[in-house]
Structure 1
Amino acid sequence: MPTLAKKEECTGCSACTNICPKKCLQMEIDKEGFLYPFLKNTEACVECGMCGMVCPVHGNLEIQNVETQAYAAYTKDSDIRKSSSSGGIFSELGLQVLNQGGAVYGAAYGTNYHVEHICIENVDDLERLRGAKYAQCRLNDSFSTVKERLNSGQQVLFSGTPCQVAGLKAFLQKNYPNLLTVDFVCHGVSSPAAWNNYVRYRANLDNEGTLPVKINLRSKDTGWSRYQYSNKYQYADGKTYSARSGTDLYMKLFVGDYINRMSCADCHFKGYNRVSDITLGDFWGIWDVAPEMDDDKGTSLVLLHSERGKIEFDKLSGRIQNKKVTLEQASASNPSLLHSSPAKPEREDVLQAVLNGDMELASGMIQTVGTKVKFGQRVLDKVKGMVRILGWRR
């Protein structure tokens, strides 16, 4: 029988289902809205062991023996930068590959704002891959089509979560000189079902149930520096909903670790050194590290892990502004680069409320948790104060 990762460890990368020679494994949605591999035909399984061998959770991948370098960077193209989550470096890398006749894979909104991996070969489509999508992306047959393109000699840029990139590398089973892999500083991935329920909830509140025509979860209309971005939903009749970072219910659920995948609580793919060529993210804290690189329009954190990554980044020199920094400076205000996001004890109940469509109940539950945390912190502070007082009296 297949030797798959335990459910609490499985990232849903789909490497196992793509490698199965008999196609007896398939990804199925569980009660929380996440995809997991399922053996649909036990008789067809030939027990080849390929599914277990390519599972990235089993840790069979080798990290390249190259010292990781860190940079703060942003594109000089103001239009790209404005529509990007941070500094627009992903778009610049994508343009570089597309202009060579290559293909770029990344997350995009599909029908009814389901998040799915798509492949683009046209510069005009690059906009679909910009911006953050805070729900786990459905990969479909991306791994298989990436392999086909690589074997045909086409340049390919594959972007995804660290576990998705690790899954692709494990699936390919060899290095391709025409493949550039880009992951990002990942807090975790939330339930696609929770995300779709929230989009419908917002539509009911804002627009009598009609879905928005555009969603930007990282709008810079209110700025970027010091986490001042906004979540913005735009509707066909001109109505909009906009909330500053940290005030929107969905973002509270996501950042608060109430609706994320179980494997995110103990991620195997954190750290400075990775199997990807490049890691991108927001350079939070750049205002302290290098204030001259922060003009409130977005600055990217760039980590280069391989010679291929360094070569591709160097090619951007004429189109970007960048400054080298230390790894410690890069991670100081980016804890998700190195550390997992443990789930809250109330995760199961809160997530179930969201899946049931009861957003008011979910909101009340996390507000109660926040009140308890604040009360507990005040008690702890008082105890510490008494300890100091007693210590002084001695």
Structure 2
Amino acid sequence: MNNISHIHSCYGCAVCAIACPKKIIDVRLNSNGFYEPYITDGAKCVNCGLCLEVCSYNHSEIALNELPKVSYGAWSKEKSVRHICASGGVGFEIGRYLIGKGYKAIGVKYDVKRAKAEHYVASSVDEFILSMGSKYIQSYTLSGFKGINRKDKFLVSGTPCQIDSLRRYINKMKCSENFVLLDFFCHGVPSKFVWDKYIKEQQDKLGNIDFVSWRNKQNGWHDSWAMTISPSDSGKVVDWYDSYNLLTKVSHPNK
């Protein structure tokens, strides 16, 4: 079959699912806890090969072959943005600017009830605020990427592998002029099963959790491994350093 049925342990970007004209591709966690596409009804496949054409995992070359002309370092001028964001807030500022120009912004938010990072579509700056701060787990892209169409303008933020596949898709659909694609340095992601196990352990100790923040700046900029988890019923947070050692509990600054 000329489809992704033979592809396993890929990047899990789900662009193949939105490219499929028969809508017979879905995404689920594989046995190792990473997102992977699968064919829901092989009998409906027409062997068009679009799913393979847009798949960055299926190509050794990158989709964008232009060398960068110049590079810059930047950060948000707004103190509150810099405080909330994991780095300097540039991603949020680009999104805020483009939303003001009529774009929709597709970023990643964390669903605390399902302990899940997922892409979503923001049509306003208020909606885009949910994307602030990095999430160091694999994102479920399909919920956001399904909102992509060929008539609206979009900013899409994601990892390099996600953006490479998406670039192939919009080039194939001949609508690349409607998109601004934004990726970032990525060092890989842990299994969702590891994250679920960690959250379960914290819930057993602390109760239901209503807030999670990676690289929290409560103790300044230089504790870049600091993580904050806030249980909903205790008014306390857990500061987790270096992903291994539980050091202290402190009062939540917003309580």
> Where is the strand percentage greater, Structure 1 or Structure 2?
2
Structure with higher Rg: it is 1
Select the residue among 122, 125, 131 that pairs with 2:124: 122
Superposed displacement of residue 143, structure 1: 3.0
Tell me, yes or no, if the aligned pair for 1:61 and 1:170 is still in contact at 8 Å. Answer: no
Partner of 1:232: 228
Q: Does 1:90 align with 2:91?
A: yes
1:4-23 equivalent positions in 2, closer than 5 A: 4=4, 6-8=7-9, 10-23=10-23
Select the residue among 219, 224, 228 that pairs with 1:222: 219
Superposed displacement of residue 145, structure 1: 2.0
Q: Does 1:166 align with 2:164?
A: yes
Deviates more, 1:41-50 or 1:129-138: 41-50
Superposed displacement of residue 161, structure 1: 0.8
Superposed displacement of residue 119, structure 1: 0.9
Partner of 1:138: 140
Match of 1:118, as an amino acid?
Y
The whole-number CA distance in structure 1 between the counterparts of 2:108 and 2:140 is 8
Partner of 1:316: none
Match of 1:135, as an amino acid?
I
Per-residue CA distance 1:26-77 (angstroms, 9 max, x = gap): 2232222222122232221121222212211233654242434332221111
Tell me, yes or no, if the aligned pair for 2:119 and 2:145 is still in contact at 8 Å. Answer: no
Tell me, yes or no, if the aligned pair for 2:117 and 2:139 is still in contact at 8 Å. Answer: yes
Partner of 1:368: none
Match of 2:72, as an amino acid?
Y
Where 1:91 maps in the other structure, the secondary structure is helix
Partner of 2:192: 192
The whole-number CA distance in structure 1 between the counterparts of 2:236 and 2:24 is 47
Where 1:118 maps in the other structure, the secondary structure is strand
How many correspondences in the alignment?
Answer: 240
Moved over 4 A (4+): none
Match of 1:215, as an amino acid?
V
The whole-number CA distance in structure 1 between the counterparts of 2:15 and 2:122 is 21
Where 1:213 maps in the other structure, the secondary structure is strand
1:259-298 equivalent positions in 2, closer than 5 A: none
For normalisation by structure 1, the TM-score amounts to 0.57
Match of 1:52, as an amino acid?
L
Partner of 2:50: 50
The whole-number CA distance in structure 2 between the counterparts of 1:248 and 1:69 is 41
- Pick closer, same or farther for the CA change 1:186–1:61 going to 2, 3 Å: closer
The whole-number CA distance in structure 2 between the counterparts of 1:62 and 1:140 is 20
Where 1:73 maps in the other structure, the secondary structure is coil
Gaps of 5+ in 2: 247-255
1:1-394 equivalent positions in 2, closer than 5 A: 1-4=1-4, 6-8=7-9, 10-59=10-59, 61-110=62-111, 111-146=113-148, 148=149, 151-152=150-151, 154-172=152-170, 173=172, 174-205=174-205, 207=206, 210-225=207-222, 227-236=223-232, 237-248=234-245
Q: Identity, % of aligned pairs? A: 28
Match of 1:224, as an amino acid?
W
The whole-number CA distance in structure 2 between the counterparts of 1:13 and 1:217 is 22
The whole-number CA distance in structure 1 between the counterparts of 2:133 and 2:70 is 24
Where 1:201 maps in the other structure, the secondary structure is helix
Where 2:142 maps in the other structure, the secondary structure is coil
The whole-number CA distance in structure 1 between the counterparts of 2:245 and 2:138 is 19
Match of 1:95, as an amino acid?
R
- Pick closer, same or farther for the CA change 1:68–1:186 going to 2, 3 Å: farther
Deviates more, 1:58-67 or 1:213-222: 58-67
Gaps of 5+ in 1: 250-394
